A and B are shown apart, each in its own frame.
Chain A
Amino acid sequence: MFSSAAIQEIEDIRAKYPNARAALLPAIYVAQREFGWLPPEAYEAVADLLNVPKATVRGVATFYAMYKQKPMGRHLIQLCTNVSCMILGAERLVDLLKSAYGVEPGGVSPDGRFSLVIMECIGACGTAPAMLVNDDFHENLTEKNLQEILEKYK
């Protein structure tokens, strides 16, 4: 179930939109934050709060890649491997993540700490390679600083 803060947040979101369906995207985002991903209960909770059918809530959420249909690690790494990043070594970073933390693209590390999602250009080509960890932006990555950065996320 939602925390009361989350319920309040969704109600505030609802108030900003002309109808409940319009409020779905940010509301689902809150649910994802609360549950870590989007299990059926998360959809049901949003559906109940907004009085939108639960099948519709799930339908909307599955359209977008940034809504997670599978359990996630505590922290989400979104690493770009598109052209600029690739040229500057992003694929080695992928290997490193695998050897150091045991996390594969699309997967979760065995300790549940990290999930890894491969991105197609996150608009940081000039400072490639780049990644997002949760909502934080990290650029000019190297095999060396990658691990240092990730140490901050327990």
Chain B
Amino acid sequence: MITVTINDKEIKLEKAVTVLEAARSAGITIPTLCYHEQLERYGGCRLCLVEVEKMPRLQTACTLMVADGMVVRTETEQIADVRRGILEFLLINHPLDCPYCDKAGECTLQDLVEKYGPGKGRFKEKKRKVPESLQDPVIVRNMERCIMCTRCVRMCEGPQGASAIAVINRGGHSHIEPFSGGRFDCEYCGNCVSVCPVGAIMSRLHRHSYRPWQVKEQYETVCPYCGVGCTVITQVRDDVIKRVIPKLGSSVNNGMLCSRGRFGYEFVGDNDRLTTPLIRKNGVLAEATWEEAITLVAKKLSEIKIASGSEAIAGIASPRCTNEDNYVFQKFMRAVIGSNNIDTTARTGYAGAQSFIENIFGQGATANIISGLANSDTVMVIGGDPTTVNPILGLQIRACARRGGNVLTIGDFAGLSKFSPKKLLPGKYTETILLEAIVTALREKKGLSGSNGPLESKIKDISVTAADAAAKCGVPEQQLSAFVDLLAGAATYSLVIGKEIVQSTGGSYKLLLLAAINYLANGRIYMLTEKANEQGALDMGCAPDLLPGYRPVAFPEFAKKYGAQWHAEISEKPGLNLFAMIDAAENGSLKAMYVMGENAVCNIPNSGRVEKALKNLDFLVVQDIFLTETAKLADVVLPALAWAEKGGTFTNMERRIQLVRKSVQREGLEDWKIIAEIAKNMGYGMEYVSSEGVFHEIAKVSPLYRDLTYEDIGKGENIYPYKGEPLRDVKEDIQVDTASAVASAGKLYLQIERPLFHSGTLSTRAASLRNIYPQAVARISSATAKALSLTEGDVVNVRTKAGSLSLFVAIDKDGDSSAVAISNNFERKGAFRLADYALDQVTKAPCIDAVEISIEKVTA
């Protein structure tokens, strides 16, 4: 026990902390400028100087560790004098433009000068002049205001790991610059904005549009973009979100955000939002009243149900909607329509891969705490760049590397390349043999423990020597054995699996091999998750074969039990999955579809075909917030409230349930409410009063969310396995699909680019993100560019069997020379327009890694 006295107050401490931390713990404020709890200590600004008895000079409280018996004073005349002096020096170069500065009102410098003075400066020379930089889409840099605390630099180098900015020049001329001296061209996470204590690095989005004290309300909620589910705070004025900031201390993202979470909120108030229902009349979508639209949908669905049967109707739910929306939607499909034809785009990878892994290791095998990655001694990454798909998870891998952990990658991931990963780069379509060789070597080193019979029997069948693998995949033997040594030596191992593996030919077999490696190295598995509530939609039973809580619909006891709770008869026949729905729409056996919150055309591979299939339906309802390319095909379009306009819950990739809180008021209906209205019109009562009421039912019906309440969730009692019963844990025989693809020399293949600045098509509706990444491009390597005489900005036609697109060329100097990478974020320009696929027989994920693509310059 350490006892210190600060301002005559005795403080007892368990362990040595800094004087600053000790003071804060006792409610004593010491002014600081360069200190920030997320950053390494710096001791640069000297504002925190305090008097310590028996020490000759003033000491910086932010760096000095307490010692037993220390007596400290934080506010004396001498200290006030020194602080005033320091502030006077800072103001020498600081413009006095508070009336014009967005930071005023929450500026540490302003507050400190107000408290300590000086009221007037004595400096007679001219102030330093640095023009304000407005070159960036989301950040304004005003270096006249910089006080050189270096918090931004320490943030960018430290927790963010981007190292995009640095102090340049010397003495009075020093300030902060990105490498170019002008544009940042960085990850645009804005975490430097968060930590700047003055108005030197600021968000451009709300520039000069409000004052901090005009923010009347703020709400703690969840980012709408990816499966990390970062805790964000929305700050609102007059029902407009003015700013989104991260929550310090959140167990998910602890004060960090990525560009999407911080700057991507503008879609909420966008002018293109749908405002009224639309009904197709004489071929065109015309505005209609809610009553007309709801009656029409109810009538049409009832008619089709009678004429063609329940199975002629299908629904696509949404990984962007809340659990409540998804629950009500699947209940509607099952209890009102009478069919299990319900699925989501999680089917394109996440759903199948997760159930495959859970089938091996048991339910919840992929529910691991994201921050655990930073504490792993070894992290292996395959199948996608975590720093762009799930950026905040990516930061944890960077943190692992910074702490001296081993980052192993199979493939090359730009966001990790500066962190000295140990890379294995197998040739195209040869990961399988490489993984087999790793499993073989690892088994020889570690042996089998006997704890997982079905998996071990598979592992025993695998035998590929390093020499064999080297010959086939081009990874040198020594490299492979060094890699295996690291895996074998790992005490705390984590495996991060991206979608590229799941969506590859023979994906399920590769997943088995990865599971085997994970088993042998005794690790945890993380599966990258693109959309905010992919996990929740699955938990809610938005799957053709599984009821809420993953109860198989084919087991009569479950169909009966849920049917009894829903007062309806539930079909025991598993429904059509996403891809079967498209087939059925194409061949005419499916007559009607209801799509909620999903741009199905864009997000299901082979978009052109999906478009045709949807056009072939007798009746299509699309419920969304924008008139997407899917909504444009609909017979009835129903406008829904967006994230930030409604309450509910999301479940992230860790299976953490979190409250989504309503931040702004807008006229309209939540997705679940629209569906409940339609159900009512079809003669089925759904009398929920609020999303909380829906959740109450979920907690009763789903064994997974048993007895949870919003109150528990608000308190944080919300991480898997909740209060629920453990679920079925049957270890069945493991089936795999061992299909393989062969690369032909000189051919180009389609690759899906997953950019940091976009997530689905939603982010392209946010002006700020569009300004960073404005349009789809065809990204090729410099080698390909040279071979085809293409230069950056050329217009090309890219063509596959499935379709063609005209795009601008972008050249990536370290790019894969057999790939043309295209994102799937921009409507009508998405990579899925080009992606023909075969389904993996086991995970039912589309394999889109073997799409040959040609590229041709368009001459004007």
Binding site for B on A (CB under 8 A): 40, 43, 51, 53-56, 58-60, 62-64
Assembly CA distance A40 to B178 (angstroms): 12
Contacts A40-B179, A43-B179 known; A56 to B166 CB distance under 8 Å?
yes
Contacts A51-B420, A53-B157, A53-B164 known; A63 to B179 CB distance under 8 Å?
no
Other than A53-B157, A55-B164, give 5 A-B pairs with Cβ distance below 8 A: A51-B420, A55-B177, A55-B179, A58-B179, A63-B169
Which residues of chain B are within 8 angstroms of A59 by Cβ–Cβ distance? 166-168, 177
Interface check B124, CB cutoff 8 A: no
Q: List 16 A-B contacts (CB under 8 A).
A: A43-B179, A51-B420, A53-B163, A53-B164, A53-B166, A55-B166, A55-B178, A56-B157, A56-B163, A58-B166, A58-B177, A59-B167, A59-B168, A59-B177, A63-B168, A63-B169
Which residues of chain B are within 8 angstroms of A58 by Cβ–Cβ distance? 166, 168, 177, 179
Q: Are B418 and A53 in contact (CB under 8 A)?
A: yes
Q: Are B163 and A55 in contact (CB under 8 A)?
A: yes
Which residues of chain A are within 8 angstroms of B174 by Cβ–Cβ distance? 63
Which residues of chain A are within 8 angstroms of B420 by Cβ–Cβ distance? 51
Shortest Cβ distance from A60 into B: residue: B166
Chain A's nearest CB lies how many Å from the CB of B390?
23
Which residues of chain A are within 8 angstroms of B157 by Cβ–Cβ distance? 53, 56
B165 CB contact (under 8 Å) in A55, A60, A62, A64: A55
Which residues of chain B are within 8 angstroms of A51 by Cβ–Cβ distance? 418, 420
Which residues of chain B are within 8 angstroms of A62 by Cβ–Cβ distance? 168-170
Q: Are A54 and B179 in contact (CB under 8 A)?
A: yes
- Chain B, residues 134-172, CB within 8 Å of chain A (1/0): the string is 000000000000000000000001000001111111100
Which residues of chain A are within 8 angstroms of B168 by Cβ–Cβ distance? 58-59, 62-63
Assembly CA distance A53 to B174 (angstroms): 19
Interface residues of B in 403-423 (CB under 8 A from A): 418, 420
Assembly CA distance A28 to B174 (angstroms): 19
Chain B's nearest CB lies how many Å from the CB of A55?
4
Which residues of chain B are within 8 angstroms of A43 by Cβ–Cβ distance? 179
Shortest Cβ distance from B167 into A: residue: A59
Interface bin, chain B: 10 to 19
Shortest Cβ distance from B181 into A: residue: A58
Chain A's nearest CB lies how many Å from the CB of B148?
12
Chain B's nearest CB lies how many Å from the CB of A3?
21
Which residues of chain A are within 8 angstroms of B418 by Cβ–Cβ distance? 51, 53
Which residues of chain A are within 8 angstroms of B165 by Cβ–Cβ distance? 55
Shortest Cβ distance from A54 into B: residue: B179
Assembly CA distance A72 to B418 (angstroms): 32
Which residues of chain B are within 8 angstroms of A64 by Cβ–Cβ distance? 170
Shortest Cβ distance from B180 into A: residue: A40
Shortest Cβ distance from A62 into B: residue: B168
Chain A's nearest CB lies how many Å from the CB of B38?
19
Which residues of chain A are within 8 angstroms of B178 by Cβ–Cβ distance? 55
Chain A's nearest CB lies how many Å from the CB of B102?
25
Which residues of chain A are within 8 angstroms of B167 by Cβ–Cβ distance? 59
Shortest Cβ distance from A61 into B: residue: B168
Chain B's nearest CB lies how many Å from the CB of A120?
14
Shortest Cβ distance from A65 into B: residue: B170
Chain B's nearest CB lies how many Å from the CB of A109?
26
Which residues of chain A are within 8 angstroms of B166 by Cβ–Cβ distance? 53, 55-56, 58-60
Chain A's nearest CB lies how many Å from the CB of B574?
52
Shortest Cβ distance from A43 into B: residue: B179
Chain A's nearest CB lies how many Å from the CB of B192?
12
Which residues of chain A are within 8 angstroms of B169 by Cβ–Cβ distance? 62-63
What 9 A-B pairs have minimum CB-CB distances, sorted nearest first?
A59-B166, A53-B163, A55-B179, A62-B168, A55-B166, A54-B179, A56-B166, A63-B170, A62-B169
Interface residues of B in 4-62 (CB under 8 A from A): none
Assembly CA distance A60 to B167 (angstroms): 8
Which residues of chain B are within 8 angstroms of A63 by Cβ–Cβ distance? 168-170, 174
Assembly CA distance A123 to B178 (angstroms): 36
Assembly CA distance A55 to B178 (angstroms): 6
Chain B's nearest CB lies how many Å from the CB of A58?
6
Which residues of chain A are within 8 angstroms of B170 by Cβ–Cβ distance? 62-64
Assembly CA distance A64 to B167 (angstroms): 12
Chain A's nearest CB lies how many Å from the CB of B721?
42
Assembly CA distance A152 to B420 (angstroms): 47
Shortest Cβ distance from B162 into A: residue: A53
Which residues of chain A are within 8 angstroms of B180 by Cβ–Cβ distance? 40
- Chain B, residues 790-812, CB within 8 Å of chain A (1/0): the string is 00000000000000000000000
Shortest Cβ distance from A52 into B: residue: B163
Assembly CA distance A19 to B177 (angstroms): 24
Assembly CA distance A63 to B157 (angstroms): 19
- Chain B, residues 380-395, CB within 8 Å of chain A (1/0): the string is 0000000000000000
Shortest Cβ distance from B165 into A: residue: A55
- Chain B, residues 497-541, CB within 8 Å of chain A (1/0): the string is 000000000000000000000000000000000000000000000
Which residues of chain B are within 8 angstroms of A60 by Cβ–Cβ distance? 166
Assembly CA distance A62 to B164 (angstroms): 16
Interface residues of B in 224-269 (CB under 8 A from A): none
Assembly CA distance A43 to B165 (angstroms): 14
Which residues of chain B are within 8 angstroms of A56 by Cβ–Cβ distance? 157, 163, 166
Assembly CA distance A27 to B167 (angstroms): 19
Chain B's nearest CB lies how many Å from the CB of A82?
19
Q: Which of A51, A53, A55, A63 has the most chain B CB atoms inside 10 A of its CB? A: A55
Assembly CA distance A53 to B167 (angstroms): 13
Q: Which of B163, B164, B166 has the most chain A CB atoms inside 10 A of its CB? A: B166
- Chain B, residues 172-210, CB within 8 Å of chain A (1/0): the string is 001001111000000000000000000000000000000
Which residues of chain B are within 8 angstroms of A54 by Cβ–Cβ distance? 179
Assembly CA distance A69 to B681 (angstroms): 74
Shortest Cβ distance from B156 into A: residue: A55
